[in-house]
Homo-oligomer: A and B are copies of this chain.
């Protein structure tokens, strides 16, 4: 007998309270804000006394917020592999341990990306069949958003990794971002089939036969133009893609800002043009999604930007809870088994 279960446990997000550059204030504020609008529980991981004191003075309802003590912090400068061994009580490792033990449904951190990947792989392992987990990122486009992976987990890739990134990226887009039959493209230096490095030429037929909605090679203009939903690339190229678009737009915005404050006439223009400038700021703002998953590890791990503020952390918590509610992990497992059996049987 199937009865709708009102006592179904709430989605439980484990949040590294010490990840962002300005930790733990944005994390604590975001947790308080998130439980107002979302039916979730949150566990904050970090130094208990510090977090308790911030929670107590937050003025918000904190019944659904738990704290698990972790005395150490994995800093940006720390070498990931070393610290996975040395700083075993860092907030990231403790949080991932909670996820592994089933204490929560998803883990969110805005901390050191390399550290998060190393810790996640070490503690959770990979989804069955996955050769290499891929770090996804959300890019702005003319029409909305584009998933790109890998943006930095694997500097050297084989064609089969790219196929797996494509499968996982498509599932993520469909289940969490609401893309219908996501268009998957292979990042290359030209659109024609046959263009690209040896890796791309080898990956192309795998994607073509994957059953995915593969639209062929794409260039950055298709990505930012909104003509593709999931862009697949190796972690070296993806990282350069991410950082070059960030750095080029920063040069532009900095120049614009300097010019707009250079003379009274320009300042008047800036005031009037403010709505336009705000729109640009919004396009460049990573805060709306907040965090993107590390796809392929055996658990839901989402990594946000170190610069995340409270709003970005709230978005990250929301994205994590959506991913958990959509059973992203289970869907990834099924899709990988289905598609890989067809395309690349062991």
A residues neighboring B (CB under 8 Å): 140-142, 152, 155-156, 187, 189, 196-198, 200, 219-221, 223-225, 235-237, 239-241, 243-256, 259-260, 262-263, 265-266, 268-277, 279-280, 283-284
Docked pose: A49 CA to B140 CA in angstroms: 49
Q: Are B198 and A235 in contact (CB under 8 A)?
A: no
Shortest beta-carbon distance, A173 to chain B, in Å? 20
Sample of 16 further A-B pairs with CB below 8 A, known A156-B198, A189-B239, A266-B276 = A140-B251, A155-B196, A155-B197, A155-B200, A220-B244, A220-B247, A221-B250, A223-B247, A224-B244, A224-B250, A241-B244, A248-B249, A251-B283, A252-B284, A255-B279, A269-B274
Q: List 22 A-B contacts (CB under 8 A).
A: A152-B189, A155-B200, A189-B236, A220-B240, A220-B243, A220-B247, A221-B246, A223-B244, A224-B247, A224-B251, A241-B241, A246-B248, A248-B248, A249-B249, A251-B283, A252-B284, A255-B283, A256-B276, A259-B275, A260-B273, A266-B273, A266-B275
Docked pose: A249 CA to B221 CA in angstroms: 10
Task: For A155, list chain B residues within 8 Å (CB).
Answer: 189, 196-198, 200
Task: For A271, list chain B residues within 8 Å (CB).
Answer: 269
* Consensus secondary structure, chain A interface: helix
Task: For A256, list chain B residues within 8 Å (CB).
Answer: 276-277, 279-280
Shortest beta-carbon distance, A272 to chain B, in Å? 3
Q: Are A268 and B260 in contact (CB under 8 A)?
A: no
